[in-house]
Amino acid sequence: MSSTSEVTIGGLVGTRWKPALSVEVTDGIAVLTFDLPNESVNKLNRAVKDEFVALVTRLERDTTVHAAVFLSGKPDVWIAGADIEEFLQLKTATDAERLSRDGQMLLDSIEQLRVPIIAAIHGACLGGGLETALACRYRIATDHPKTMLGLPEVQLGLIPGAGGTQRLPRRIGLTSALDMILTGKQVRAKKALQLGLIDELVHPSILRTVAIQRAREVAEGRRKSERHGGGVKGLLIDGNPAGRALVLRKAREQTLAKSRGHYPALIAAIDVVAAGYERGVAHGYREESRRFGEMAMTDVSRQLIFLFFATNELKKDPGVDPSQYPELPVSTFDPLPVEKIAIIGAGFMGAGIASIAVQHGSLVRLKDADHARVAKGYAAVRDVLKERLNKKQISKIQYSDYMALVGGTVDYSGFGNVDLVIEAVFEDLAVKHQVLREAEAAINPTAIFASNTSTIPIALIAQASSRPERVLGMHFFSPVHKMPLLEVITTPTTYPQVTATAVAYGKKLGKTVIVVNDGPGFYANRILSPYINEAGILLDQGVAIDIVDKALVDFGFPVGPITLIDEVGLDVATKAGKIMADAFPDRMQPARSIQAVVVAGRYGRKSKKGFYSYDKEGKKGEVDPSVYALFLAPGSIPMVKSIAPPSAPEGVERPDMPAVQIQQRTVLAMLNEAARCLSDGIIRTPRDGDVGAVFGIGFPPFRGGPFRYMDSLGIQIVVQRLEDLNARFPGRFEPSELLLEMARRRQVFYSDERS
């Protein structure tokens, strides 16, 4: 006969307060369910920790309980991690250190508990969640795509603070642990099993039953978690100081080379892991909380946490504000369902969009001008999905299901029942007008027409439309399957429901969506334009190509501006540049160098010839020295010797332009334009501008985005530097009115506690 009792920890029965942890004891096995009230996910906050402490005390004392199983009451989340809102209240490193210490102590008591706890994991098990699982005596996880395990703290500029830096390497081996801690990557349950991070993998339907069985077996000493330690290789490395020293040294070197010193938490994490091996785990824990405290106070962490909150806010943002349309009924703000879509233009972007749409269950009609191009687009979709299949990110069945959702056409057949058309044809207004007219003749009058144009104002495209209220921009970034941003561009005539639908669909595709107003280049490409131009002008003035690129990679961009245009394609970049120059002739005149290179038929990587040289497979090599002769007068400006054009006088070296000058000229041009986008109403808020720049064009995340960066520099300093540059190069650096005004009033873009 079984006996069951229900208890709540922390009690207060009959009041509004509801506990997060509930306990049900059956036949000596306690089933603990974590279900944080009024939240969609389980997070670890102070109140939950207090409940945990009470629970541990109770389990320690209650001799009728022999073992416990720890489950989540949420559908897709076990524990998502610490409550980051609480981090914002930390004012000193000592506060943060204490928070970490408390977490460590709690998990230590779980690990040492008389009663073994079995972690029964279904859904996200991240950060403090994984640290909790590591402190349990045995771990079972479900073989389900939602079950992902990881320590993402470094992505917030922090390090794991509740024992993760010590327990993880001892569980899965130093090499794998460093990989997880330093990348913050999440692994699927299957991979977690291979790594030894979990002990068992089960189908979700039997998780509870198996966990209860294992709890009994562990309590009776019939089963135990085996440490993996990275296999034989791990044993050789972890078991000897020389092996560990080598791994740690390599990790340090690679991390510094990759992060260029911009992310101090990465090095702190390595230090702390090393400390635990050098002077014992107790010392490792002390160092972990000390460095956690230190990292929580860094500007880098503050900026990354800001971006985390900003993207979360955008996930909840419907993209339209009903209060601005008091005359419209509420139902007109509900997004329309989008199940079937058509994409016109099966090129680089069209195929990219198709590849993500099918993975989110959309039926896709891919149209191009002829069969060969449709086939090329279809093959490009297949390549993206094949890559995911090869990386085991999708199953064979999913692969075939997704491919079955793509259909090709050279006419508009099948367009009659689509909900949304995304146009991704050449960046040419006449072509866009033509396909818009043709599409409108074929689609349902309620269907939405979205253009993926990079620069052409949507209102200009909509001039050819018979229903411009259903036309907007959906600007994806390349490569579409990797870049997280989507700009939804609205015109004064775009109907709010159309905007809401595009925003909702973008989110469904997994994108972070910002709604921007219409104008040349919208937001991301508008701020990119003066930055690229300035980089080109530096080349016109004789600065070496790789020196420019290196300066901006050192600043924190993922690639330099010249590499970027080689990647995008110089033909595409110059076409966009012309549109921007026509719109803003005073400050966006294209650089001579970029024009000259494209005129010479060098389009960058796609033509295997650009500013850089490329091999047959398109792999980028060094700067191609012959390119200088295209835009520099022979021998007039000697270049740095190593990459001198053939015409440069032998042995003459020009002193390099300091990186800081290159960075200031290019980045200030971008910052000034971002401020103009805000005052012109292109973006709604500095937050959107920051998210757009970081996720759309790779603005360094640790600087928070252009607006956060301007705040950290000080607006007066920004204005002063712009004025200095404007005195040297009249016109291009004229400070925007907004910045001048803010400098006069000593204002900042962000004044809340998150700044």
Q: Rounded to a whole number, what is the largest CA-CA distance in the chain?
A: 96
The binder of ligand NAD chosen from 322, 347, 484, 698 (CB under 6 A): 347
**For ligand NAD, which stretch binds (CB under 6 A), given 20-28, 114-122, 181-189, 418-426?**
418-426
Q: Is 346 in the site for ligand NAD (CB under 6 A)?
A: yes
Q: Is 407 in the site for ligand NAD (CB under 6 A)?
A: no
**For ligand NAD, which stretch binds (CB under 6 A), given 419-427, 542-550, 637-645, 728-736?**
419-427
**For ligand NAD, which stretch binds (CB under 6 A), given 266-274, 340-348, 558-566, 649-657?**
340-348
Q: Is 602 in the site for ligand NAD (CB under 6 A)?
A: no
Cβ-proximal residues to 744 (8 Å cutoff; 6+ apart), any chain = none
| Backbone phi, psi, residue 390, to 5° | -60, -35
Question: Which residue reads 């990354």 in tokens?
Answer: 304
Between 35 and 438, CB nearer to ligand NAD: 438
Catalytic residue flag (residue 487): yes
Q: Is 367 in the site for ligand NAD (CB under 6 A)?
A: yes
Cβ-proximal residues to 671 (8 Å cutoff; 6+ apart), any chain = 706, 709, 710, 718
**For ligand NAD, which stretch binds (CB under 6 A), given 32-40, 153-161, 424-432, 701-709?**
424-432
The binder of ligand NAD chosen from 200, 287, 288, 427 (CB under 6 A): 427
Q: Is 568 in the site for ligand NAD (CB under 6 A)?
A: yes
Q: Is 483 in the site for ligand NAD (CB under 6 A)?
A: no
The answer to whether 654 touches 704, Cβ cutoff 8 Å, is no
CB of 373 to ligand NAD, least distance (A): 5
Question: Which residue reads 């007068």 in tokens?
Answer: 633
CB of 519 to ligand NAD, least distance (A): 15
The answer to whether 69 touches 116, Cβ cutoff 8 Å, is no
Is the bond preceding 492 in cis, omega lying within 30 degrees of 0? no
668 secondary structure, DSSP code: H
Q: Is 547 in the site for ligand NAD (CB under 6 A)?
A: no
The answer to whether 428 touches 386, Cβ cutoff 8 Å, is no
Between 53 and 369, CB nearer to ligand NAD: 369
589 secondary structure, DSSP code: P
Between 129 and 590, CB nearer to ligand NAD: 590
Of 296, 297, 308, 295, the C-alpha closest to 265 is 295
CB of 621 to ligand NAD, least distance (A): 22
d(CA 307, CA 210): 40
652 secondary structure, DSSP code: -
- Tell which positions 428-467 bind ligand NAD, by CB under 6 A: 431, 434-435, 452-454
Q: Is 369 in the site for ligand NAD (CB under 6 A)?
A: yes
Q: Which residue is nearest to ligand NAD (CB)?
A: 347
The binder of ligand NAD chosen from 144, 373, 609, 721 (CB under 6 A): 373
Q: Is 572 in the site for ligand NAD (CB under 6 A)?
A: yes
Q: Which two tokens stand for residue 705?
A: 């985005």
d(CA 174, CA 610): 42
Between 73 and 347, CB nearer to ligand NAD: 347
CB of 603 to ligand NAD, least distance (A): 11
Between 255 and 452, CB nearer to ligand NAD: 452
DSSP for 263-326, written as a single string: -HHHHHHHHHHHHHHHH-HHHHHHHHHHHHHHHHTSHHHHHHHHHHHHHHHHHH--S--GGG-T
Between 167 and 475, CB nearer to ligand NAD: 475
Treating both helix axes as pointing N-terminal to C-terminal, what angle do 706-713 and 686-697 enclose, rounded to 10 degrees? 110
Q: Is 175 in the site for ligand NAD (CB under 6 A)?
A: no
The binder of ligand NAD chosen from 31, 36, 425, 662 (CB under 6 A): 425
Q: Which two tokens stand for residue 65?
A: 């309980």
- The one catalytic residue among 97, 423, 427, 487: 487
Between 289 and 533, CB nearer to ligand NAD: 533
CA of residue 484 relative to chain centroid, distance: 6
Find the helix or strand (DSSP H, E) in which 474 lies: strand 471-476
Indicate the burial class of 509 (C-beta count within 10 angstroms; 0-12, 13-18, 19 or more). buried
Q: Is 344 in the site for ligand NAD (CB under 6 A)?
A: yes
Between 361 and 416, CB nearer to ligand NAD: 416
Question: Which residue reads 């990386």 in tokens?
Answer: 391
d(CA 320, CA 330): 12
Q: Is 564 in the site for ligand NAD (CB under 6 A)?
A: no
CB of 352 to ligand NAD, least distance (A): 8
CB of 448 to ligand NAD, least distance (A): 17
Number of residues that bind ligand NAD (CB under 6 A): 26
Between 368 and 566, CB nearer to ligand NAD: 368
Between 133 and 366, CB nearer to ligand NAD: 366
DSSP for 312-371, written as a single string: HHHHH--S--GGG-TTS-GGGGSPPP--EEEEE--SHHHHHHHHHHHHTT-EEEEE-SSH
Q: Is 409 in the site for ligand NAD (CB under 6 A)?
A: no
Cβ-proximal residues to 259 (8 Å cutoff; 6+ apart), any chain = 266
CB of 604 to ligand NAD, least distance (A): 11
CB of 480 to ligand NAD, least distance (A): 8
Q: Which residues sit at the interface with ligand NAD, rule CB under 6 A?
A: 344-350, 367-369, 373, 424-427, 431, 434-435, 452-454, 476-478, 568, 572
The catalytic residues are 487
